[in-house]
Amino acid sequence: MMKSGGLKMSRKPDIFLSEFKVKNKAVKVLAALMILAAMAGCQTTPAAPQPEENAAAVSYPLTFTDALDREITLSQAPQRPAVLFSSYAELWQLAGGDVAVTVGDSVKRGFVNAGTPLVDDGAGLKIDAEQLIAQQPDFVIASADMGAQAELCGQLSGYGIPCAALKEESFADYLSLLKLFTQITGNTEAYQTYGLNLQQEIETLLTEVTQARSGQEPVSVLFIRAGSGYSATKAKTAKDHFVGGMLEELGAVNIADEAGALSEGLALESILLNQPDVILIVPQGNEEAARAYMDSLLEESGWRDLEAVKNGRCTYLSKDLFHYKPNARWAESYRVLAGLLYPESFS
């Protein structure tokens, strides 16, 4: 049995069935699950596809543990995988897999074809369970960070449809997921190309950063995840955003880690007291609205007096690299942050 520490999560998320479009369809969904399970028991198992030139032979059944600490067993290579989170759709394809069913964001971000069946028009917050079952997936990849997906995942697994709830909050998590996916697809070359090669790049960069900042005071940072208004805009820490962990690895001090109240809201008094050297902002949701809100905030008295603002060290980060999971671009993400923290050494 294969297990990976990157796939475990100690705290299970709260789950609410109302997040799915199944509130008035419970009987239909249950019946569909029972029918699908019965059909699976009656069908002849199709032969696994022949491995490609760069693929290694995979031994099935294959068992692994997901982020909710549940054992998932695949009896054969997936033929109709459903991927309910866009970043995992990209990662699954990097590993050599095909996406048969997904969510709207996977199409909007260019990871799958426009004609791919969708079970949610957006990010996967409201999966249409009935539509998902109708697509007859033989493997479902879900996000453990979305409580409703985790609930559906448990239901599907209970009726014989393998469903893995996964988590990616660091490059180490990414590497674990890529290894798992390439073990499922048999594409070992992809693990070398998109995993181990990136790991070497990142390790080299971190060594160079350590040398560059030797003897210097740590750079202080305010990292903000910005929405279109006050309630949606918060400072993020290493515990609740993967960028916070990257900043820590790069030797920076995140003032939100020091002043916990900032994670509840942008308290200007606390920010003025800590005076960050650098302010980094990643927009979420409507990027234009988020930028407009932050631009207006930074023009207000107090904010415009911050040293980082006066010194031109306030930067908007790319959503592709710092809001969504960067996947094959993790090394690029580290390099961008290194350049913003230590411009003299990494311009």
Q: What is the DSSP string of 224-239?
A: EEE-SSGGG-EE--TT
Tell me the residue length of the chain.
347
Higher pLDDT, 23 or 232: 232
pLDDT at 265: 72
In whole angstroms, what separates CA 103 from the centre of its chain? 14
What is residue 136's predicted lDDT score, i.e. its pLDDT? 94
**What global pTM score does this model have?**
0.82
Share of the chain above pLDDT 90, in %: 74
Residue given tokens 């009726």 in the structure block: 159
Nearest-angstrom CA–CA distance, 231 and 114: 34
Residue 66 pLDDT: 96
Say whether pLDDT at 7 is over 70.
no
Residue 154 confidence (pLDDT)? 82
User: Residue 260: which pLDDT band, with cuts at 50, 70 and 90?
Assistant: low
Across the chain, what does the average pLDDT equal?
85
The per-residue pLDDT for 43 is: 38
| Strand 278-283, strand 314-316: pairing | parallel
Q: What confidence tens digit (pLDDT) does each residue in 166-221 have?
A: 999 999 999 999 999 999 999 999 999 999 999 999 999 999 999 999 989 999 99
Q: 273 pLDDT exceeds 80? A: yes
Best CA proximity match to 336, nearest among 324, 326, 346: 346
Question: Does residue 52 register a pLDDT over 50?
Answer: no
CA-nearest of 331, 333, 298, 325 to 312 is: 298
Spatial contact of 232 and 297, defined as CB atoms under 8 Å apart: no
Higher pLDDT, 226 or 23: 226
Residue of 125, 91, 120, 119 whose CA lies nearest to 13: 125
Cβ(246)–Cβ(209) under 8 Å? no
Of the candidates 335, 246, 267, 305, the one whose C-alpha atom is nearest the C-alpha of residue 256 is 267
What is the average pLDDT across 281-309? 95
Q: What is the average per-residue pLDDT within 40-44?
A: 38
Instruction: Work out whether strand 62-65 and strand 71-74 pair parallel, antiparallel, or are unpaired.
Output: antiparallel
Full set of structural domains in the chain with CATH: 62-186 (3.40.50.1980), 214-341 (3.40.50.1980)
Cα-only R_g, the chain: 22
pLDDT of 19 higher than 70: no
What distance in Å separates the CA atoms of residue 345 and residue 239, rounded to the nearest whole number?
A: 28
pLDDT at 258: 78
What is the rounded average pLDDT of the residues 30-48?
A: 40
The answer for residues whose C-beta is within 8 angstroms of residue 16's C-beta and 6 or more apart is 147, 148, 151
pLDDT at 140 exceeding the cut of 80: yes
pLDDT in tens, 73-110: 999 999 999 999 999 999 999 999 999 999 999 999 99
Phi then psi dihedrals of residue 220, to 5 deg:
-95, 140
Question: Do the beta carbons of residue 179 and residue 190 sit within 8 Å?
Answer: no
pLDDT of residue 263: 62
